[in-house]
Structure 1
């Protein structure tokens, strides 16, 4: 049994039923409390008439089956149209929504993108992407056999009248008082959509069923139509309900009238931001009965022009896009065409997936400034080498190599020089500190200069690495470089000390002993020649100046000649020794800079490349 009563959600009291319209409440309803008079507090601006069985629906019934509100024409005083009885709904297990492989891949990429970005981007930036993921997961768990379509429009556009025309019975109140619709009303053409409507937050007392006509029910089977409050309502809570429900439905029918179709609020607040959702959008020009002659075509063309300026693709000539129609809900002209287009749209069962795909596109466009860049990013080898060279200059690698070369030459001169020169240098060294064997410790001003060079090198490499990156990732790269630069100067000093010249004398080549022996022979010749001459002078030996003089001249000339030859021969090994010392210091400085600065910077760049690849998967194109 089905109770038939006067019920309308826009009145806050129960009116007595007209003659022949009232029937008794079923015993089952009475047993469950459905027959008790329960007043429903109306919302602001809401004129709802909730009858006894509607209150019973609030107490746990999922649907208001059979409690269709009848049309009340108080002005004409006509007999109310009896509500059409609906058969008792049988609980059915709805098939959950299934996403295709491409959409699943985009959702997975978006989820990975959000996960990789949480430590680099603030929660407000990722809020929209998180909302899309949550809504996609929630929608996937619900029925895939139903399509939720919202009827949205401005005050006086006639959307409630169109809602009633599609349902075939008066469900949503119409009238001149504004706003008329105060809360969303849902009407389902088939069972199994209760969870979908629960997601919209529509209570059972505002859920209806259409007139039971076999043709209409079969044509729109699977449709859940939601009549929304006016999006330009003076009541803030009405506009908030519109925004909330629009974010959850699978598609939307925008109802405009000849007076407000170009309203800036409609285009700037809703149509333009939802341009990417054109494939799940209908734009209906209502009240064409008010337009004379060819005015309907002119207004319709102007509406298409405005939609094109909003960036909304129009589904013309077989192309995907919004469907634009003209009709009159009052006379019924064009309503059949809308019902046919809506039936075909619902039969495709693809609106929910297209809506999620459009939401992903919108979220990706919102995130584009923090992921996409038109410049080449990364740290080139040239920049790395320049950074290492700056650090080497800061620790004095070149000066250390030159000092090592001088130390090697000095050691060679001391080993291969004449004894008289070595004696003179020994006396000179007693009055001066030894230099050249190890690099001298830098003074305070030199240390400050070296520290400034290190900081400048870090800033330079950070700027080069972050060049072209979106702001959040550029900031992350610079922060990684700054963290690595802390204590870098001290670490370089320690490495320079460990990587400096080894203690003791520099290594000697194999020809040094021979050179030392020859130099000793030249000295011996000088000593022998000198003693010989002294012996001749004192009369110990027979006079013979030629031989001792020749020996002395050979020793005097041969000693410096051997020393000069050794100096020339030592230049090559000394240069190699100095270059080796410089190389070790440069490698130590480069290794320290790489571990403390370049590797953290490279890690940030690698993370950015990963998120950029994921962003490319989200958008469906390469970045």
Structure 2
């Protein structure tokens, strides 16, 4: 039989003096509340109803035969080991007014061991205070000798490389995303990192398993059956379990239990008599939780809090509430990723006749499959589903064996953290996963640059440069008479016709609108397919760059426009000018020659002067036309060069102010997307699975 100790240094209210009197009355034949003629139900000279002025269940009473089977206190009580042993010696010499009766065969043999339990054992400083009458289904149990624990070195938990890589990626992901995502979105990921770091610092040789269930499912009864002794209170009163109770099968789990917020008075430890039984569940820390559907809000809050911290959970369901919507929608379905660290136990099968238990178990498996919980069948990883009866013990041994193998693997903490990372990644999926390929294509960049060039008037500036080059060529290579006529035409034109028309305000407004439209277009293309936070960041970066962009483009247009002075001249221009001058000289020579013949200065000979004049008159326009044809190519190149310079200037300004900030946001998104892929397990291991 298994005994149990706790760490309570205070009086348990459940073990009342009335229960003690009733027990004495049962052995002595006296009615309850009477003891050896003492109508007050107290021992003589002790108005408080305690033995020798000590609290009931103290260390000295633990050694008496009449109380060997009743829960009491170990020697670690605040009264001190020496005081307790002294009172125990006095009690063994004779205790008048007390009725003695052995409740177990080993009671007399354990009289001294109960009083001399190992000092300093953090688990052996008290006994459970529970009424024997409230647990009629459990056999009486006796105290077994406790061995002082040896000095134990707690080995911290060590995660495998894939899980460490995922946690590191999650930490980097949170750090890179803090300026783009709100704290509420990153809260779950931060909690997972905190819990993983906290769990890693604690024992890696222990596995914390919580038993959870609804009201009346029998989870406390199963808790007691696994421990082999009545630890958690059971009964028809609802709710029965008001606070989590911890039971550890080995030393070194104090830090884990403190992390769960379970006080020492609610910590228990069964003492296994055999080495085989002691090794079977070594490293197990079992937690009995309050009802998850309790009417008390604080009970449900405690369940939710502890479930986030334990390594595994045993869900206890009964034939009446195994399909409860609260259980499936609030707990099982959200915890589907934790299937490998989950046991689903159908309790109370003794109430089901015939094959009804198998039918209910099959229906339970169907519901779990609908919840998305993988079932550990046919050697596949998943939740363990079984049926048992904690009352009759049917199937409890199979659950104990499964727990023993589960604890021996020492993989539950890593699997739990890996599942938490999976859930955090699934919740972060909408803010990191793109609906399609994202980024700025070369086509989008070129279109943006073209829009800015149009807004700044690059095409018109090139055309103006081409016309200026042609005009300069015509002036240099044209006939004198044509230049004279053009000069007269310009003189006769009104003054307004020769003024440079400056851009009107409506034209400037149109150019500004073109710039804004170009920025909006490139921002929409860059943010297309991105998750909402990153799309918003891209649009904001583009909007910041658009501020002052029209003014900057205007300055560029002035600096990168036509250079001052005349356009450059090609090498053949002097030859053309000389030829045009020769044609003019021929015209003058022929004319003067004819004039001299007319006035009689020279002998008449019309052929030569007329020929010279015709050569000059025809040759001049012909040279001008040839120069104009030859100037089209250089003029076009000159205009294209001017347009190119303006386009490049506009593109550089737009790139520095808009495209580069947008590209930086896209690069940041690619970085976080890469880390999110590592967190989600893409290209990495499953992290402890």
- Report the equivalent of 2:533: 472
User: Is 2:203 aligned against 1:143?
Assistant: yes
Q: Is the 8 A contact 1:147 1:351 kept in 2?
A: yes
Q: Which residue of 2 aligns with 1:193?
A: 253
Measured in 2, the distance between the counterparts of 1:121 and 1:5 equals 47
Q: Deviations over 1:418-453 (max 9, x none)?
A: 1111122223344467999x9964221111111111
Q: Secondary structure at the match of 1:151?
A: strand
Instruction: Provide the residue aligned with 1:272 in structure 2.
Output: 333
What CA distance in whole angstroms lies between the structure 2 residues aligned with 1:231 and 1:9? 28
- Is the 1:411–1:505 Cα contact (8 Å) retained in structure 2? yes
Give the C-alpha shift of residue 121 in structure 1. Answer: 0.9
Alignment partner of 2:237 out of 170, 177, 185: 177
Q: C-alpha deviations, 1:96-151, integer Å up to 9, x for none?
A: 00111111111111111111111111111111111111100110000000000000
d(CA) in 1 for partners of 2:466, 2:73: 114
Are the counterparts in 2 of residues 485 and 596 from structure 1 also a CA contact under 8 Å? Answer: yes
Give 1:43's aligned residue. Answer: none
The correspondence for 1:160, drawn from 220, 223, 227, is 220
C-alpha contact (below 8 Å) 1:149/1:225 kept by paired residues: yes
Question: How far 1:531 sits from its partner (Å)?
Answer: 2.0
How many angstroms apart in 2 are the aligned matches of 1:122 and 1:292? Answer: 55
- 2:546 equivalent to 1:545: no
Contact 1:65 1:88 in 2 (8 A): no
**Corresponding residue of 1:20:** 67
User: Are the counterparts in 2 of residues 6 and 15 from structure 1 also a CA contact under 8 Å?
Assistant: no
Deviation at 1:165, TM superposition (A): 0.6
Q: TM-score, normalised by structure 1?
A: 0.90
Whole-angstrom distance in 1 between the partners of 2:461 and 2:161? 63
Name 1:113's counterpart in structure 2.
Answer: 173
Contact kept? 1:65, 1:208, Cα under 8 Å? no
Distance 1:10 1:350 in 2: 38
Deviation (angstroms), 1:27: 8.3
Corresponding residue SS for 1:109:
helix
1:411–1:434 CA distance, 2 compared to 1 (3 A): farther
Aligned to 2:132: 72
- Measure, in 1, the Cα distance between the counterparts of 2:326 and 2:285: 27
Q: Secondary structure at the match of 1:208?
A: strand
Distance 1:159 1:84, change over 3 A: farther
**Residue of 666, 670, 686 corresponding to 1:605:** 666
Equivalents in 2 of 1:91, 1:97: separation in Å?
19
In structure 2, how many angstroms separate the alpha carbons of the residues matched to 1:398 and 1:391? 11
Structure 1: how far apart are the matches of 2:266 and 2:533? 47
1:576 offset after TM fit, Å?
0.6
The residue aligned with 1:556 is 617
What is the CA distance between 1:554 and its match in structure 2?
1.6
Q: Which moved more, 1:367-376 or 1:162-171?
A: 367-376
Deviations 1:289-332 (A, max 9, x none): 11111111111111011001101011111111000111111111
Equivalent residue for 1:101? 161
Report the equivalent of 1:389.
450
Q: Is 1:254–2:255 an aligned residue pair?
A: no
Q: Distance in 1 between matches of 2:462 and 2:471?
A: 14
Point out the more displaced range, 207-216 or 502-511: 207-216
Which has the higher Rg, Structure 1 or Structure 2?
2
Which of 562, 572, 579 is residue 511 of structure 1 equivalent to?
572
After superposition, the Cα gap between the structure-2 partners of 1:373 and 1:151, relative to the gap in structure 1 and judged at 3 Å, is same
Q: Distance between the aligned counterparts of 2:194 and 2:402, measured in 1? A: 30
Q: What is aligned with 2:397? A: 336
State the secondary structure of the residue aligned to 2:286. Answer: strand
SS in 2 for 1:73: helix
Unaligned ranges ≥5, structure 1: 36-59
Give, in whole Å, the separation in 1 of the partners of 2:683 and 2:137. 66
Q: How many angstroms apart in 1 are the aligned matches of 2:9 and 2:361?
A: 34
Alpha-carbon distance change, 588 to 14 in structure 1, aligned in 2, over 3 angstroms: same
> 1:467 Cα shift?
1.1
Structure 1 segment 430-449 matched on structure 2, within 5 A: 430=491, 431=493, 441-449=502-510
Q: Tell me the CA shift for residue 532 of structure 1.
A: 2.2
1:348-363 aligned within 5 A = 348-363=409-424
Check 1:9–1:237 CA distance in 2 against 1; reply closer, same or farther (3 A cut): farther
The separation in 1 between residues aligned to 2:278 and 2:617, in whole angstroms, is 126
- 1:189-588 matches, within 5 Å, as 189-214=249-274, 215-430=276-491, 431=493, 441-588=502-649
Per-residue deviation, 1:34: 11
In the alignment, the residues of structure 1 paired with residue 384 and residue 82 of structure 2 have an alpha-carbon distance, to the nearest angstrom, of 46
Q: CA deviation at 1:213?
A: 2.9
Change (3 A) 1:24 1:521: closer
Corresponding residue SS for 1:190: coil
Structure 2 residue runs of 5 or longer lacking an equivalent are 24-65, 85-119, 685-689
8 Å contact 2:6–2:264 — kept in the other structure?
no
Distance 1:555 1:34 in 2: 143
Q: Give, in whole Å, the separation in 1 of the partners of 2:128 and 2:651.
A: 81
Q: Residues 552 and 546 of structure 1: is their aligned pair in 2 closer, same or farther, counting only changes over 3 Å? A: same
Q: Describe the shift of the 1:523–1:590 C-alpha distance in structure 2 as closer, same or farther (beyond 3 A).
A: same
SS where residue 67 of structure 2 aligns?
coil
Contact 1:257–1:286, Cα closer than 8 Å, also in 2: yes
Q: Superposition RMSD on alpha carbons, in Å?
A: 2.8
CA distance in 1, matches of 2:440, 2:597: 82
Q: Distance in 2 between matches of 1:278 and 1:106?
A: 20
Deviation at 1:472, TM superposition (A): 1.1
Q: From 11, 14, 29, give the equivalent of 2:78.
A: 29
Distance 1:129 1:440, change over 3 A: farther
Out of 96, 102, 126, the residue aligned to residue 186 of structure 2 is 126
Q: Is the 8 A contact 2:8 2:125 kept in 1?
A: no
What SS does the corresponding residue of 1:346 show, helix, strand or coil? Answer: helix
3-state SS of 1:29 partner: coil
Residues 267-300 of structure 1: per-residue CA shift (max 9 Å, x gap): 0000000001000000000011111111111111
Q: Is the 8 A contact 1:281 1:323 kept in 2?
A: yes
The alpha carbon displacement at 1:621 in A equals 1.3
Structure 2 Cα separation of the partners of residues 162 and 34 of structure 1: 38
Q: Deviations over 1:481-513 (max 9, x none)?
A: 111111111111111111111100000011111
Q: Does the 8 Å contact 1:70/1:83 carry over to 2?
A: no
Helix, strand or coil at the partner of 2:584: helix
User: Counterparts of 2:8 and 2:522 in 1: how far apart (Å)?
Assistant: 74
Q: What's 2:92 paired with?
A: none
User: Structure 2 CA distance, aligned partners of 1:157 and 1:488?
Assistant: 70
Please state whether the residue corresponding to 1:324 is helix, strand or coil: strand
